[in-house]
């Protein structure tokens, strides 16, 4: 019998389940993989040779495609990963061949506030420890490939500064005239390290590098992680890797990884990472884990490769987009689906009573501090007011033409009257609604949700993009701001406006997608504004160019590509049993 989630921590439930979980060979065989297509990493984790699978099953019809997103979350999350695992388990209970495709967690939130994103209660991805602590090394490969580009850039700057053109030409190099004041990339590390946002490098003597201002971003915000998410195969990845803009020269011309002749070596680091990772739910359904999180500062989607593999091997693929519908689903809709050519059959919108209360006026949750007592007491008025955010997110999904299913991600303190208020609001907005108790009961608690999603998949939809690629950049940004976020308009800093105008004159950049960077804690660019803010303007302070990934990146508000570590981080509670070697305290 599984442990009671109301009495045991997530890591305790996962550890108990791991005693009887399937081997990775069993998971692969039941999934329909051939032996040569499974690349084992021990007894319970593997990689899938995507190329062999797609070559073998290329003519097989795809299964149904479902995206899981959420309303605007609290700082504690909204339970999308838990709901994705629960829905996968519920589908399994209904006898469906189902695969979940989720993102690999970053060490930043795992060791900080949010936890490992493995799910929770009786709906988790296991084994928990490898899932949470590096898995098979994909993020490490991203870090090495990315930082190698920075090594190549800074080394070239040092040698160009110290040596004449004659010396460079003897080594087969040409002067790139890199502008040290116009470097696009930073270094990356997979932790929330605010002290490294802004640094000075190259201090010392002539042999210690070129002295300049630099900094760090978190690993999963890297363009290389975005390339891992959207690349269709190794050839596509190799081509994208050479188009990454690292800096600009003194005439304003882009300097790419191809110009630095480092793109081949960067790809070499990523070859194995292109194969999706295979794990399982607590109830034994297959889970493909690939690419990284953070849809607020990155694309925040599981990989196209993993989705394509899953669709060939199952009746249903349940994928998860980062954070809420305004950023995660919007990028799934207008970026990932456009790049993959895949069209979703349904979208699940996860909502908790807790978050609805926060949007309705309850004291906001503070990570590391106990929840206000109102979150465990009946507060129907706050829930009804908070449903304005729910309805807004329903309407975002409906703009794509996809059928929305609201999942009420239930907690045992939720009351019947609060749940009724959510049902009434969602149904009035034209969405299916399902109460799901997967956190408490696993797959058995997700049967209503599974049935609603199956019904939604069987109805036709009219999937369409918000904008076409010939839409000018500022017009696209305005469409996203007004139609998705609910802003009155957009304003730009002088630098961002100059970049936007320049990009609109470049036919190559005009063809790229638009990947917004914005807080996930509000529909607006101000994390303090809850519910559905009115009378505000989206502030664009910068626009980055991710030519390799295939999009430009407008940066809104004050959000940083390097999150900070809190005063009460999760690593304080993580430890190891020195006798068994088991890790304790992950969540």
Task: Give yes or no for a contact between 269 and 152, defined as CB atoms under 8 angstroms apart.
Answer: no
Look at residues 429, 432, 425, 436 and name the one whose alpha carbon lies nearest to residue 456.
432
Domain 473-556 has CATH 3.10.410.10: yes
Q: Give the dihedral of Cα atoms 321, 323, 329, 330; nearest 10 deg.
A: -130
CA distance 502 to 473: 10
| pLDDT digit string (tens) for the chain, length 587 residues | 789 999 999 989 999 999 999 999 999 999 999 999 999 999 999 999 999 999 999 999 999 999 999 999 987 777 899 999 999 999 999 999 999 999 999 998 899 887 777 899 999 999 999 999 999 999 999 999 999 999 999 999 998 888 777 777 877 888 999 999 999 999 999 999 999 999 999 999 888 988 999 999 999 999 999 999 999 999 999 999 999 999 999 999 999 999 999 999 999 999 999 999 999 999 999 999 999 988 888 899 999 999 999 999 999 999 999 889 999 999 999 999 999 999 999 999 999 999 999 999 999 887 767 888 888 899 999 999 999 999 999 999 999 999 999 999 999 899 999 999 999 999 999 999 999 999 999 999 999 999 999 999 999 999 999 999 999 999 999 999 999 999 999 999 999 999 999 999 999 888 899 999 999 999 999 999 999 999 999 999 999 999 999 999 999 999 888 989 988 888 999 999 999 999 988 87
Looking at residue 6, the DSSP 8-state letter turns out to be T
CA distance 348 to 83: 9
Phi, psi (deg, nearest 5) at residue 123? -130, 85
* pLDDT at 484 (0 to 100): 98
Rounded to a whole number, what is the largest CA-CA distance in the chain? 79
* pLDDT at 130 (0 to 100): 94
Task: Give yes or no for a contact between 278 and 46, defined as CB atoms under 8 angstroms apart.
Answer: yes
* pLDDT at 296 (0 to 100): 86
Phi, psi (deg, nearest 5) at residue 280? -150, 160
Three-state SS at 470: coil
Three-state SS at 193: coil
Three-state SS at 403: coil
Q: Report strand pairing: 583-584 vs 245-249.
A: unpaired
Enter the tokens of residue 440. 């408490």
Residues annotated as catalytic are 80, 82, 103, 114, 295, 323, 411, 439
Q: Spell out the domain ranges in the chain.
A: 24-136+273-457, 138-265, 473-556
Helices 263-270, 223-230: axis angle to 10 degrees equals 60
Q: Report strand pairing: 64-70 vs 216-218.
A: unpaired
Residue partners of 460: CB distance under 8 A and separation at least 6: none
**Domain 24-136+273-457, what architecture?**
3-Layer(aba) Sandwich (3.40)
Query: Cα dist. 329→6, 229, 290, 346 in Å?
Result: 31, 15, 17, 12
Task: Give yes or no for a contact between 536 and 498, defined as CB atoms under 8 angstroms apart.
Answer: no
* C-beta neighbour count of 468 within 10 angstroms: 9
* pLDDT at 116 (0 to 100): 77
CA distance 125 to 411: 19
Query: Cα dist. 335→132, 158, 378, 552, 555 in Å?
Result: 27, 38, 40, 11, 16
β-partners of residue 551 are 513, 546
Domain spanning 138-265, CATH class: alpha beta
Task: Give yes or no for a contact between 72 and 355, defined as CB atoms under 8 angstroms apart.
Answer: yes
Query: Cα dist. 102→146, 152, 409, 454, 548 in Å?
Result: 22, 33, 18, 20, 23
Label each residue of 408-446 as H, E or C. Answer: EECCCCCCHHHHHHHHHHHHHCCCEEEEECHHHHHHHHH
CA distance 159 to 166: 12
């Amino acid at each position: 019998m599984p442990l009671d989630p109301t009495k045991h921590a997530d890591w305790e439930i996962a550890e108990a389940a791991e005693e009887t979980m399937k081997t990775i060979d069993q998971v692969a065989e039941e999934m329909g993989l051939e032996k040569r297509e499974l690349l084992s990493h021990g007894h319970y984790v593997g990689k899938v040779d995507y190329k062999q699978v797609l070559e073998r099953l290329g003519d097989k019809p795809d299964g149904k495609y479902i995206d899981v997103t959420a309303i605007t979350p609290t700082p504690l999350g909204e339970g999308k990963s838990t709901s994705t695992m629960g829905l996968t388990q519920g589908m399994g209970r209904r006898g469906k061949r189902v695969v979940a495709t989720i993102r690999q967690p970053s060490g930043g939130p795992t060791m900080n506030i949010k936890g490992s994103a493995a799910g929770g209660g009786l709906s988790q991805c296991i084994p928990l420890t490898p899932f949470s602590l590096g898995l098979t090394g994909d993020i490490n490969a991203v870090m090495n490939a990315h930082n190698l580009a920075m090594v190549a850039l800074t080394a070239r700057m040092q040698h160009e500064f110290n040596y004449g053109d004659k010396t460079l030409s003897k080594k087969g190099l040409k002067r790139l005239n890199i502008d040290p004041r116009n470097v696009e990339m930073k270094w990356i590390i997979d932790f929330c390290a605010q002290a490294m946002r802004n640094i000075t490098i190259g201090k010392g003597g002539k042999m210690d590098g070129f002295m300049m201002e630099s900094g760090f971003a978190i690993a999963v915000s890297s363009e290389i992680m975005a390339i891992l998410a959207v690349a269709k195969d190794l050839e596509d990845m190799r081509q994208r890797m050479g188009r990454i803009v690292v800096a600009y020269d003194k005439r304003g011309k882009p300097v790419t990884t191809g110009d630095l002749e480092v793109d081949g070596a960067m790809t070499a680091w990523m070859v194995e990472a292109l194969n999706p990772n295979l794990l399982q739910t607590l109830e034994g359904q297959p889970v493909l884990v690939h690419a990284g999180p953070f849809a607020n500062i990155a694309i925040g989607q599981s990989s196209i490769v993993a989705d394509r593999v899953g669709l060939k091997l199952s009746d249903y693929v349940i994928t998860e987009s980062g954070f809420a519908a305004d950023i995660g689903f919007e990028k799934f809709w207008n970026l990932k689906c456009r790049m993959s050519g895949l069209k979703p059959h349904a979208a699940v919108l996860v909502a908790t009573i807790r978050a609805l209360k926060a949007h309705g006026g309850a004291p906001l949750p503070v990570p590391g501090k106990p929840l206000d007592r109102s979150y465990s007491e009946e507060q129907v008025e706050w829930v009804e007011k908070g449903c304005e955010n729910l309805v807004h997110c329903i309407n975002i999904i409906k703009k794509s033409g996809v059928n929305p299913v609201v999942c009420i991600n239930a907690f045992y303190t939720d009351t019947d009257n609060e749940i009724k208020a959510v049902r009434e609001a969602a149904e009035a907005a034209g969405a299916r609604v399902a109460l799901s108790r997967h956190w408490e009961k696993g797959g058995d608690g997700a049967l209503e949700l599974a049935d609603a999603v199956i019904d939604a998949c069987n109805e036709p939809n009219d999937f369409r993009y918000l904008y076409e690629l010939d839409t000018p950049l500022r017009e696209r940004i305005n469409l996203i701001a007004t139609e998705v976020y609910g802003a009155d308009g957009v304003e730009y800093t002088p630098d961002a406006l100059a970049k936007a105008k320049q990009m609109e004159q470049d036919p190559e950049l005009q063809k790229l997608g638009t990947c917004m960077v914005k807080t996930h804690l509000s529909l607006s660019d101000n994390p303090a504004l809850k519910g559905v803010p009115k009378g505000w303007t989206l502030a664009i302070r910068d626009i980055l160019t991710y030519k390799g990934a295939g999009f430009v990146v407008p940066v809104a508000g004050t959000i940083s590509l390097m999150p900070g570590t809190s005063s009460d981080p999760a690593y304080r509670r993580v430890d190891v049993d020195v006798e068994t070697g088991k890790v304790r305290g992950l969540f």
